[in-house]
Amino acid sequence: MKELDFIKIIKNQIGGDYIGSDCAYLKDLGIVVSQDNLVEDIHFKMEWCTPEQLGYKSMAVNISDILAAGAKPAYVTVALSLPSDISDDFIKSFYSGAKKALYGAKIVGGDITGSKDKIFVSITAIGTIKGRKIASRCNAKPGYKIITRGEYGQSSKGLEELINNGDNIELVRAHLEPKLDIEFSEYISTHIDTDYAMMDTSDGLADALYKIAEESSVSINAKYIDGMFGAEDYNLIAAVPDNFVIDLDNCILVGEVVEKQNYVLKIKDKEYKNYDELNLYDHFGGDDE
């Protein structure tokens, strides 16, 4: 998986514990920071979405990282690089969509430049940590339970609709306008007093389980859930102490954390010992997303 290889090179180059997570946790400033790029024809196609949907989703993927850290969305900067034939209306619509996915954050700046032929979006989101316990992928401990909420597989079905020119608008919207579970993030980060792990499932539920297990040096035994290998569902999963009570509707238990085994992740009876066995897409490889 080329993306992970590159992250290793970067870690070697700059050192530090910050790299590789969705957010950098800057304790001295009381914030977490996340930045994501979206590139035309790699992460989105303009034949498949309106400028407003592009704005919505670009913002949502960033705010999702803030929620995954358990922080409160506070500020974002938006940097757009656009081919010279782009219209004023595109920009208006993009921002109109982006505003709908702010979840309380404020747009405070950014950049706008030209681009040769592809649209390039980069958003940086800042979340505040006051009154919250911040999550980390490496905080799962044996005995913890893993919980989530929301539907799985809708987004990848929506992508199928787009690829096949289908007309199920609801599925397409699940893909292009994912709703974020700010309530889940806020509830856990403001009620928990122990270390815990949290992640979004943007690369798939199976991916999130695997990464939490690996980065926490534990193993996870999970249930099989329909749609768990599909990407782009922006739900959250959390690994929390077994006795932590989550007083929210519709939470489900998807697995439990155990001492490190000779596998990283077990889904029903199938053991996964390395990441590639999950057969997920690579941000560098596929032409889907």
Contacting residues toward its own copies, per CB under 8 A: 2-3, 5-7, 9-10, 13-14, 16, 18-19, 21, 23-24, 26, 29-31, 33-43, 74-75, 77-81, 84, 88, 91-92, 95-96, 99, 106-118, 120, 122, 124, 126, 128, 283-285
Sequence letter at residue 51: P
Nearest to 256 by CA among 273, 240, 236: 240
Smallest gap from residue 171 Cβ to its own copies (A): 25
CB 105 within 8 A of CB 73: yes
Smallest gap from residue 44 Cβ to its own copies (A): 12
Smallest gap from residue 237 Cβ to its own copies (A): 21
C-beta closer to its own copies: residue 28 or 193: 28
Smallest gap from residue 193 Cβ to its own copies (A): 25
- How far CA 45 is from CA of 75, 163, 256, 280, in Å, comes to 27, 10, 38, 20
DSSP string, 133-176: PPP-GGG--TT-EEEE-S-SSHHHHHHHHHHTT---HHHHHHHH
Smallest gap from residue 199 Cβ to its own copies (A): 15
Measure CA 10 to chain center: 21
Smallest gap from residue 146 Cβ to its own copies (A): 25
C-beta closer to its own copies: residue 13 or 262: 13
CB 2 within 8 A of CB 276: no
C-beta closer to its own copies: residue 37 or 50: 37
C-beta closer to its own copies: residue 3 or 259: 3
User: Is 100 exposed, middle or buried, given 0-12, 13-18 or 19+ CB atoms closer than 10 A?
Assistant: middle
C-beta closer to its own copies: residue 113 or 262: 113
User: Is 251 exposed, middle or buried, given 0-12, 13-18 or 19+ CB atoms closer than 10 A?
Assistant: middle
C-beta closer to its own copies: residue 187 or 234: 234
Say how many C-beta atoms besides its own lie within 10 A of residue 193's C-beta: 8
